[in-house]
């Protein structure tokens, strides 16, 4: 072991430098903690049940809104949920034309049948295409992969809420053993091992609703906006806290409660805000998951995608497959230690560069 260097005259200067360094590290650390965010959100999210209770939250919800027998044109092949399972079912909101996105999901995380020792399955939900030729292609795709759920409504942005209700309703009726449902968009990279591990350790009430929470979003009153919500449909000034629709989790009891509440509320065109409203009606508070990216964009970094984050939004098909094929142990010890703070810093720098 090397002996400690003798202390020359420069010592005071060196200790000043040390102090400066310490100060810099502290500043960097607090910046990183700030970037990692979630702190105050986590706190708010934990106090939400109390707030909801104070607002007269829980109301009796009816039986789940289940789709009629003839509601679907295409259904996934039986075997996904029979004779039992899966533990986690991923419901991907897709669209008739999104063939490349579905293929990328199948070739990456959506092709996995197990993660963290749990069984999983991925199903794509869509409506009816505008052009009849597209229907024949969808039927071929359904025969080949057996993972399409096509509901009998026109596939459009304004009908997204119907898509979510169709997916949740189908799952409630056909997959009674499922423990958790994840609703995701078809341009989302899901880190299913990390998510399954987190859900497996989840403590708390059986009705769980988790994701990146949006706080106090005001409905758009501009009729030209694609997010327009007329006051006649929803008069309140803000939506209750809800999980970003890019990817969120509902436990099976929470999904049933949401479907029950959906019967009693006017259908809003924003599927995530609507699910949040249904959850509030059922007395279920959303829980914030800082590891879900929500609408934030993260540059393709295997460490962030495969180990740190649970979901990343706005991932192109080629990037989806590239991230999936990235090495098994993508984080170095340092990257692992910095964790979410490093990924947030990367996202922040990438946004600055744009």
Ligand X SMILES: *[C@@H]1O[C@H](CO)[C@@H](O)[C@H](O)[C@H]1NC(C)=O
Shortest distance, position 162 Cβ to ligand X, whole Å: 6
Among the residues of the chain, which ranges form H helices?
11-36, 39-54, 99-107, 132-145, 160-174, 192-200, 252-262, 271-281, 302-303, 317-325, 333-353
> Which residue, 122 or 159, is less far from ligand X as judged by CB?
159
Q: What is the distance between the alpha carbons of residues 345 and 354, in angstroms, rounded to a whole number?
A: 15
Site string for ligand X, 105-144 (x = CB under 6 A): ----------------------------------------
> Which residue, 163 or 342, is less far from ligand X as judged by CB?
163
Q: What is the distance between the alpha carbons of residues 11 and 8, in angstroms, rounded to a whole number?
A: 6
**Window 156 to 185, contacts with ligand X (CB under 6 A):** 156, 158-159
Shortest distance, position 269 Cβ to ligand X, whole Å: 8
**Window 141 to 160, contacts with ligand X (CB under 6 A):** 153-154, 156, 158-159
For residue 353, what are the contacts with CB-CB under 8 A and spacing of at least 6? Answer: none
Shortest distance, position 128 Cβ to ligand X, whole Å: 7
Is residue 233 a contact residue for ligand X (CB under 6 A)?
no
Q: Is the dihedral of CA 199, 201, 206, 208 positive or negative?
A: negative
DSSP state of 307: I
Shortest distance, position 320 Cβ to ligand X, whole Å: 28
Query: What is the size of the binding site for ligand X (CB under 6 A)?
Result: 5
> Which residue, 160 or 257, is less far from ligand X as judged by CB?
160
- For tokens 């393709």, the residue is 300
> Which residue, 156 or 335, is less far from ligand X as judged by CB?
156
Q: What is the distance between the alpha carbons of residues 237 and 257, in angstroms, rounded to a whole number?
A: 25
Shortest distance, position 154 Cβ to ligand X, whole Å: 4
Q: What is the distance between the alpha carbons of residues 126 and 156, in angstroms, rounded to a whole number?
A: 9
CA angle centred on 179, ends 176 and 181, rounded to 5°? 95
> Which residue, 162 or 195, is less far from ligand X as judged by CB?
162
Helix, strand, coil content of the chain in percent (nearest 5): 45, 15, 40
Shortest distance, position 101 Cβ to ligand X, whole Å: 20
> Which residue, 143 or 226, is less far from ligand X as judged by CB?
226
Shortest distance, position 251 Cβ to ligand X, whole Å: 29
> Which residue, 136 or 154, is less far from ligand X as judged by CB?
154
Q: Which residues contact ligand X (rule: CB under 6 A)?
A: 153-154, 156, 158-159
């Amino acid at each position: 072991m090397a002996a400690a260097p003798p202390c020359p005259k420069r010592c005071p200067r060196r200790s000043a430098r040390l102090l400066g360094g310490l100060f810099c590290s502290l500043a960097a650390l607090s910046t990183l903690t700030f970037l990692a965010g979630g702190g105050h959100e986590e706190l708010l999210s934990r106090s939400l049940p109390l707030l909801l209770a104070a607002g007269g939250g829980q109301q009796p919800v009816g039986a789940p809104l289940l789709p009629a027998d003839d509601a679907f044109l295409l259904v996934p092949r039986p075997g996904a949920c029979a004779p039992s399972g899966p533990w986690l079912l991923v419901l991907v909101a897709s669209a008739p034309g999104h063939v490349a996105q579905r293929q990328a999901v199948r070739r990456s995380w959506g092709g996995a049948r197990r993660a963290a020792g749990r069984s999983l399955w991925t199903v794509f939900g869509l409506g009816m295409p505008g052009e009849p030729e597209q229907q024949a292609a969808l039927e071929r795709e359904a025969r080949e992969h057996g993972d399409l759920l096509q509901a009998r409504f026109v596939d459009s942005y304004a009908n997204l809420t119907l898509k979510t209700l169709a997916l949740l309703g189908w799952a409630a009726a056909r997959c009674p053993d499922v423990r958790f449902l994840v609703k995701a968009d078809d341009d989302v990279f899901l880190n299913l091992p990390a998510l399954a591990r987190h859900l497996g350790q989840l403590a708390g009430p059986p009705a769980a609703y988790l994701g990146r929470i949006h706080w106090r979003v005001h409905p758009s009153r501009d009729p030209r906006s694609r997010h327009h919500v007329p006051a006649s449909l929803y008069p309140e000034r803000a939506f209750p806290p809800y999980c970003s629709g890019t990817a969120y989790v509902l436990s099976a009891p929470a999904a049933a409660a949401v479907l029950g509440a959906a019967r009693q509320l006017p259908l809003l065109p924003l599927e995530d805000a609507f699910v949040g409203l249904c959850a509030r009606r059922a007395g279920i508070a959303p829980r914030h998951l800082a590891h879900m990216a929500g609408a934030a964009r993260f540059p393709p970094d295997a460490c962030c995608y495969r180990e740190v984050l649970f979901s990343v939004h706005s991932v192109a098909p080629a990037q989806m497959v590239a991230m999936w094929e990235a090495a098994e142990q993508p984080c170095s010890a340092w990257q692992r230690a910095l964790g979410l703070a490093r990924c947030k810093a990367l996202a922040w720098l990438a946004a600055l560069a744009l």
